[in-house]
């Protein structure tokens, strides 16, 4: 298990240009995290929350200002060289392979950097190229690869040292949907094999699909932790059932309100776009059938029914106190 305790990272910066006064910026502020083997763990927060700084510390690319980081009991600061043999980092959107080398040459080069013995490295290169679907492009220079092929090679590069723990920082950033889906399948398989995975991603549906446990941070500090379902329940981010009633009446409205009260929630009543009454009930369970039954029992005629699942995006935005949409480009949520 990778475990952090009271992890803190500060940077000294200059305000107002090159000759301005120095200031201290806190990127990570007292984080406690656990990334166990055999699980995909998510790290979420708005842009600037401290996610990338945290991952770089775990990858031994940054030294923490204070606090501890251990990998299966091994201190990552005191034993960084040994720890690097057991971890690897894959960052989407960054050049992590060399364009002039072929796919196989890249894997051979990075394998030597990790001191992988030649007898082990040769078959591993073939196995990894097959895993990411690049066997046919093994001898093609990477500068001729598509972006998706390059990112798949980066996944293979991240596995060249057979790491026990894999750190993924936006691994599917900018990839086409089919390629991103294939990479998610690879990541899920790695966790099933017993590897520990830490994932950040702007695509929260990706996090919901892969992560059993999620940490939410803001300004480098811990906000919440739990499964995606637990985070949604904690913030009241429930699924919504919307029913259009074509022949509303005061008696029907009263029946709907009473139905919702029995569930411990509130019914929202408003005008439907095509006329009639729009009834909205939000609840963690699927109440579409019982709600429709209550409406029909009260003499209502249903003109339409829509169920919207609760969103992890809504839960994270509620926790961070933001109204910005991850897709809107203002203040994006990412893992």
In the chain the first and final C-alpha atoms are separated, in Å, by: 20
**Cα 99 from Cα 135, distance rounded (Å):** 17
Q: Which of 9-13, 251-255, 326-330 has the lowest mean pLDDT?
A: 326-330
**Could you tell me the two tokens for 307?**
């169920």
Per-residue pLDDT for 249 more than 70? yes
pLDDT class of 132 with cuts at 50, 70, 90: confident
Indicate whether 240 pLDDT > 90.
no
pLDDT at 322: 56
- Of residues 269, 212, 266, 226, the one with CA closest to residue 244: 269
Confidence (pLDDT) at 307: 85
175, 206 contact by CB (below 8 A): no
Calculate the average pLDDT of the chain: 86
pLDDT digits (tens, 9 = 90+) for 270-288: 988 888 999 998 787 788 8
> 60 with 80: CB under 8 angstroms?
yes
- Can you tell me the mean pLDDT for 224-233? 86
Report pLDDT for 331.
35
What percentage of residues in the chain have a pLDDT greater than 70?
A: 91
Sketch out the chain's domains with CATH numbers. Answer: 2-86+163-233 (3.40.50.300), 238-308 (3.30.70.600)
Please check whether residue 103 is in contact with residue 142, taking contact to mean a CB–CB distance below 8 angstroms. Answer: yes
Split at pLDDT 50, 70, 90, the class of 16 is: low
Would you state the pLDDT for residue 278?
92
Count other C-beta atoms under 10 Å from residue 67's C-beta: 18
Q: How far apart are CA 167 and CA 58, in angstroms?
A: 8
- Which has more pLDDT, 242 or 308? 242
Q: What is the pLDDT of residue 314?
A: 75
Residue range 203-220, pLDDT digits in tens:
888 888 899 999 999 888
Axis-axis angle for helices 147-158, 177-192 (nearest 10): 10
Residue 4, both tokens = 């952090």
Between the ranges 147-156, 236-245, 304-313, 325-334, where is the mean pLDDT highest? 147-156
Average pLDDT of the segment spanning 40-59 = 90
pLDDT digits (tens, 9 = 90+) for 119-128: 999 999 999 9
Q: What is the pLDDT of residue 257?
A: 94
> 132-136, 189-193, 309-313: lowest mean pLDDT where?
309-313
Mean pLDDT (whole number) for 117-146: 93
Q: Which two tokens stand for residue 184?
A: 């998610």
Which band of pLDDT confidence, cut at 50, 70 and 90, is reported for residue 46? Answer: confident
> Which of the 8 DSSP states describes residue 193?
T
d(CA 275, CA 251): 18
Residue 269: the pLDDT is 92
Stated pTM of the model:
0.73
Each residue of 56-88: pLDDT tens digit? 999 999 999 999 999 999 999 999 988 988 999
Cβ neighbour number for residue 285 with a 10 Å cutoff: 9
Give the per-residue pLDDT at 14: 66
Say how far apart CA 61 and CA 65 lie, in whole Å.
Answer: 13
């Amino acid at each position: 298990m990778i475990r952090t305790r009271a992890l803190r990272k500060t940077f000294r910066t200059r305000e107002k240009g090159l000759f301005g006064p120095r200031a201290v910026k806190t990127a990570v502020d007292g984080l406690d995290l656990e990334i166990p083997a055999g699980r995909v763990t998510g790290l979420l927060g708005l842009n600037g929350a401290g996610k990338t700084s945290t991952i770089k510390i775990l990858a031994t690319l940054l030294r923490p200002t204070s606090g501890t980081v251990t990998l299966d009991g091994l201190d990552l600061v005191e034993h960084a060289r040994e720890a690097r043999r057991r971890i690897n980092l894959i960052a989407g959107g960054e050049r992590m392979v060399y364009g002039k080398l072929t796919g196989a040459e890249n894997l051979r080069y990075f394998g030597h950097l990790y001191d992988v013995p030649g007898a082990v490295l040769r078959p591993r290169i073939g196995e990894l190229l097959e895993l990411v679907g690049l066997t046919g492009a093994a001898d093609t220079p990477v500068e001729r690869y598509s972006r998706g092929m390059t990112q798949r090679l980066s996944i293979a590069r991240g596995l060249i040292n057979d790491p026990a723990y894999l750190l993924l920082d936006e691994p599917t950033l900018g990839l086409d949907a089919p390629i991103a889906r294939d990479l998610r399948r690879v990541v899920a398989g790695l966790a099933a094999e017993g590897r520990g995975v830490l994932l950040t991603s702007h695509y929260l549906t990706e996090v919901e699909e892969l992560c059993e446990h999620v940490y939410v941070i803001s300004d480098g500090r811990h906000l919440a932790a739990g499964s995606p379902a637990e985070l949604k329940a904690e913030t009241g981010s429930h699924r919504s059932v919307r029913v259009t009633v074509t022949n509303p009446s005061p008696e029907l409205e009263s029946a709907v309100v009473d139905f919702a009260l029995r569930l411990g929630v509130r019914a929202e009543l408003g005008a439907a776009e095509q006329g009639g009454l729009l009834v909205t009930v939000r609840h963690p369970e699927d109440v579409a059938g019982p709600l429709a039954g209550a409406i029909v029992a009260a003499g209502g005629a249903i003109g339409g029914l829509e169920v919207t699942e609760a969103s992890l995006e809504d839960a994270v935005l509620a926790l961070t106190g933001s109204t910005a949409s991850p897709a809107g480009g203002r203040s994006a949520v990412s893992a």
